[in-house]
Amino acid sequence: MTLLLNGEPREVAATTLDQALAELGYAGKVVATAVNGDFVPARKRETVTLAEGDRIEVVAPMQGG
Amino acid sequence: MASFYGFEPKSRLFLGTAQYPSPAILAEAVKASGVEIVTVSLRREAGEGGAGQAFWSLIRDLGVRVLPNTAGCHGVKEAVTTAQMAREVFGTNWIKLEVIGEDDTLQPDVVGLIEAARILTNDGFEVFPYTTEDLVVGGRLLDAGCEVLMPWGAPIGSGRGLNNVYGLRSMRAHFPGIPLVVDAGIGLPSHAAQAMELGYDAILLNTAVAKAGDPVRMAQAFAQAIEAGRDAFEAQPIEARDMAAPSTPVMGKAFLS
């Protein structure tokens, strides 16, 4: 299915959020996630089933003021 | 020493981590100035990218406390979700809460700020609200559970210093027991010293150090100015007056005319 990963369309075979993250190269990385605007804690990623067109946000530490 | 949710830093300078010429210069500026609290943020990361991971590694090696922000958030929902993501990534309940209401000045949307602060404190966050010098808003933020207030000195990145000295002085007088931090708009160490002389507990700044010709030296200059300003406040400055008052005793002066 096609997901919107950080605003860009991406094809994945995954059906859950944790699978999608692994497939998209985030395994082992310090990131936080949201699906369709709602925060998804790391411990719940495996329970979140994805649907066509879901908006996935993946963020990491960055410089800030 | 002021306590920020139970943490009592020796340094009253809180430093942002953005816009430095290099990560090494950021690290050196933090070390050279004795800063113990730095602000950080969250941004989108690509699966194949590693910028965020490298930055986080650098910050952890500094051994400082991190204060994640919700910079760039324009609504309550967006700010709350960003705060939740920051808590997980950075492993802290601290959040510098920004809800921006106007793009030219980056002025806080204080209505949204109060609402977001209430939601976050109820969820266990320790909120550092980026606010204006409005006393009523300050009171509402405290009602919402905030234990620190961070009024702006001037618009973010403007370097104008303290735009409303009267307002900031009033705020200090109105909230005598609350840790107050001037956040944003500082351009020079003298601006920071002025805020400390008013009795502010700390200064949060970023651009004035990061964009200086020599950020490390400027960070040190700010640290010194902030210390001097605090000392001056504790030493109880004299009141200004309109007319001269001779400091050299008049009594006993030779009569020579």
C-alpha span between A36 and A45 (Å, rounded)? 14
Helix (H) or strand (E) holding A21: helix A17-23
For residue A5, which residues of chain B lie inside 8 Å, CB to CB? 47
Q: Do A63 and B20 touch (CB under 8 A)?
A: yes
Judged by CB atoms closer than 8 Å, whether chains meet at A31 and B39 is answered as: no
Q: Given this model, what pLDDT does residue B51 score?
A: 86
At B47 the pLDDT is: 83
Residues lower than pLDDT 70 in chain B:
none
State whether residue A28 sits within 8 Å of chain B by CB: no
Q: Which of residues 88-147 of B touch A (CB under 8 A)?
A: 88-90
Res B250: pLDDT: 84
pLDDT score of B230:
98
Interchain contact, A63 vs B88, CB within 8 Å: no
Q: How big is chain A by its Cα radius of gyration, in Å? A: 11
pLDDT for position B209: 98
pLDDT of residue A26: 94
- Residue reference for tokens 């067109």: A53
**CB within 8 Å: B88 and A32:** yes
Q: Which of A51, A65, A56, A54 lies closest to A15, judged by CA?
A: A51
pLDDT, residue B257, reads 85
Contacts 24+ apart (CB under 8 A), A49-53: A49/A15, A49/A16, A50/A1, A50/A3, A50/A12, A50/A14, A50/A15, A50/A16, A50/A17, A50/A20, A51/A1, A52/A1, A52/A2, A53/A1, A53/A2, A53/A3, A53/A4
Q: What is the pTM of this model?
A: 0.93
CA distance A36 to chain B (A): 11
* The pLDDT value given to residue B190: 98
Q: Where are the beta strands (DSSP E) in A1-65?
A: 2-5, 8-11, 32-35, 38-40, 55-63
Give Cβ neighbours of residue B236 (< 8 Å, ≥ 6 apart).
none
Is B10 designated active site? no
B56 touches chain A (CB under 8 A): yes
Q: Please report the pLDDT score of residue B183 as a whole number.
A: 96
User: Hey, what are A15's tokens?
Assistant: 């059906």
User: What is the Cα–Cα distance from B213 to A26, expressed in whole angstroms?
Assistant: 37
Phi, psi (5° rounding) for residue A11? -85, 130
- Residue B84: per-residue pLDDT: 97
Average pLDDT of the residues in A5-16: 95
Q: Which of B18, B51, B84 sits opposite A64 (nearest CB)?
A: B18
Q: Please list the alpha-helical segments (H only) found in chain B.
A: 23-33, 51-62, 76-90, 110-122, 135-143, 165-174, 189-197, 207-210, 215-234
Pick from A5, A38, A41: CB nearest B88: A41
A18 has a chain B CB within 8 A of its CB: no
- Summarised one tens digit per residue, pLDDT across range A33-62 is 999 999 999 999 999 999 999 999 999 999
The ipTM of this complex is 0.94
Residue B188 CA to residue B35 CA, distance in Å, equals 17
What is the DSSP secondary-structure string of B195-228?
HHHTT-SEEEESHHHHTSSSHHHHHHHHHHHHHH
B17 backbone φψ class: left, alpha, beta (φ>0; ψ -120 to 50)? alpha
Residue whose tokens read 């507990």:
B201
